[in-house]
Structure 1
Amino acid sequence: MSLDRLAPAIFVLLWSTGWVVAKFAALLSEPLTFLCIRYLTAAVLFAGLCVASGVSWPRDRRTILHAIVSGVFLHGIYLGAVWWAIGEGVPAALSSIIAALQPLMTALAAPFFIGERLSTTQKLGLCLGFLGVLIAVLPKFFGQGAAEIPALAILVNMLGMAAVTYGTIYQKQHLQTGDIRAVATLQYVGALIVTLPLALGLETPHVEISFAFIALLPWAVLGISMGAILLLLYLIRRGQVSRAASLIYLVPPIAALQAAAIFGEELTMPMILGTVIVVAGVYLTNRKDAAPAE
């Protein structure tokens, strides 16, 4: 089976574990501090991989700048905003709904930035996917004291969604060439440029060094920051950004399934039904015979 067929499924499985990582990380470190450690480790490992593999680094300043800027949006602002908002009291269910706006926002913005147009079937798939996410996680959100959620934290969470939407389009627009391992290395430099000052200004850089931390960090770096991100960059480069973004729909329900298995959280019928609808929506969006509209 080709990488084109396997990459979407592997990406979703890896990326969805980010919710579990965030929940564990909150017990060991403040969110932005943990992200700084994660970004720095990923940048160092990616740089080592590039050197060991003899990767050709970008030589023109414009490409280097584009890679750093894309990292600011894809990692720095996006994850920083989402993790901070969850730490401030935004329930994971609501955060996942906000994140699920990304595929719709990407589909709306792509025609203006890169001239990407979708077929009627793909548009239907995007709407169906968002409906599935709402069915899966919205009932859970209503049981968590919505009135007590800070408005600022919700706005910051929405900023993160907007950032990853723009970052995905920016990646497609400016970084269609060059080795994606070198691009990923520079992206984490961009992420650190944003996250490190915020962590130093808003948090106390304390980390509980324990077996749990030593076990969690490698997965956060190798599984998500390296494995999942390489697959995402590959998918963006190989196809439509709207198709790649639609895979985000699968993350909340699959993360909910993981939380049920690992933390014993309740697995409800709306979550099961919503997951089925999400899968159908993503399938329609990514069908090979779905020709873009003329």
Structure 2
Amino acid sequence: MTLDRLAPTIFVLLWSTGWVAAKYATLFADPLTFLAMRYAVAAVLFYFVCRVTGVSWPKGRTAIFHAIVSGMFLHGLYLGMLWWAIGQGVPASLSGIIAGLQPLMTGIAAAVLIGERLGASQRLGLLLGFAGIAIAVVPNLLTVDAGAIPVYAVVVNVLGMACVTAGTLYQKRFLKDGDLRAVAALQYVGALIVTVPAALMLENLRIVWGFGLFATLAWSVVGISMGAIALLLYLIRRGDVSKAASLIYLVPPLAAIEAAIIFGERLSLPMIVGTVIAVLGVYLTNRKVDRRRG
């Protein structure tokens, strides 16, 4: 199998573990503080990978600027807002619904802003993907006291989703060339520019040093920040951004399955049905179609 075929599956598997890692991370550090540590380690590791493998860095200040800005949106603002909102009381189920809006927004924005054409089956796939997410998580959301959810935190969560949409389009528009390892290193510099000041202003910088912290940090850096992100950047560069974004539909249901296995959380029938529908939506969005028939 080629990397083009394997990359989407591996990306979803790696990225979905971020929800589990986030749950563990709160035991050992404040959310933004942990993210700042994660980004710093990832930036350093990517830098050494670039040095050892002789990677050429982006040429010119403009290219470097674009890489840093994309990192501010894709990592710093998106994950920072998401983790902070969940820490303020936004249920994971509601956050999953909000995340499910991102592929739809990306598909619409890609068509309007960069002229990316979506066929009928791809449009149907995006809608089915969101429907699957809704079916999977709404039953859990209905058991939550709506009055206990801070409105400002929900707004921040939505803004985070908008930021990852903007970052994905920015990446596709301005970072068409250059080695992805060098781009990733610079993107984590951009993430730190956002995350460090936010952590200093909003948190107490709590860190509980120990094996648990280092184990969670190691997986978050190597498995997610390096492995999953490298694959996402590869997918954005190789294909349509709407196709890459549609993979996000598979993350919440898969994360629910992982939580059921690891934490013993209940896996309901709606979760199973919603996952099947989301998988169908992603298949329709990503399958090859005859562009002449649209």
* TM-score (norm: length of structure 1): 0.98
Q: CA deviation at 1:146?
A: 2.1
> 1:76-123 CA distances to partner (integer Å, 9 max, x unpaired)?
000000000000000111101101111000011012221101000000
1:210 and 1:92 map into 2 onto residues whose CA distance is 27
Match of 1:86 in 2: 86
Match of 1:267 in 2: 267
Please list every run of 5 or more consecutive structure 2 residues that lacks an aligned counterpart in the other structure. none
- 1:68 equivalent to 2:68? Answer yes
Match of 2:99 in 1: 99
* TM-score (norm: length of structure 2): 0.98
- 1:21 equivalent to 2:21? Answer yes
> 1:172-195 CA distances to partner (integer Å, 9 max, x unpaired)?
000010000000000000000011
Match of 2:252 in 1: 252
2:289 and 2:104 map into 1 onto residues whose CA distance is 21
Q: Could you say what secondary structure the match of 1:143 adopts? A: coil
Match of 1:143 in 2: 143
Match of 1:229 in 2: 229
Match of 2:175 in 1: 175
State the number of aligned residues: 294
Q: CA deviation at 1:290?
A: 5.3
Opposite residue 123 of structure 1, the aligned amino acid is R
1:12 and 1:30 map into 2 onto residues whose CA distance is 26
Q: Do the aligned partners of 1:118 and 1:293 also contact (CA within 8 Å) in 2?
A: no
Q: 1:1-294, aligned counterparts within 5 Å?
A: 1-289=1-289, 291=291
Opposite residue 284 of structure 1, the aligned amino acid is L
Q: Do the aligned partners of 1:71 and 1:189 also contact (CA within 8 Å) in 2?
A: yes
> 1:3-22 CA distances to partner (integer Å, 9 max, x unpaired)?
00000000000000010011
Q: Could you say what secondary structure the match of 1:208 adopts? A: coil
Opposite residue 27 of structure 1, the aligned amino acid is L
Q: Do the aligned partners of 1:77 and 1:191 also contact (CA within 8 Å) in 2?
A: yes
1:211 and 1:291 map into 2 onto residues whose CA distance is 53
Q: CA deviation at 1:144?
A: 2.3
Please list every run of 5 or more consecutive structure 1 residues that lacks an aligned counterpart in the other structure. none
2:60 and 2:147 map into 1 onto residues whose CA distance is 51
Q: Could you say what secondary structure the match of 1:100 adopts? A: helix
Q: Could you say what secondary structure the match of 1:199 adopts? A: helix
Q: Which 4+ stretches in 1 moved above 4 angstroms? A: none
1:110 and 1:292 map into 2 onto residues whose CA distance is 20
Q: Do the aligned partners of 1:118 and 1:292 also contact (CA within 8 Å) in 2?
A: no
Q: CA deviation at 1:152?
A: 0.4
Q: Could you say what secondary structure the match of 1:115 adopts? A: coil
1:228 and 1:166 map into 2 onto residues whose CA distance is 19
Identity of aligned residues (%): 65
Q: Could you say what secondary structure the match of 2:176 adopts? A: coil
2:108 and 2:289 map into 1 onto residues whose CA distance is 21
Q: Do the aligned partners of 1:118 and 1:291 also contact (CA within 8 Å) in 2?
A: no
1:276 and 1:147 map into 2 onto residues whose CA distance is 32
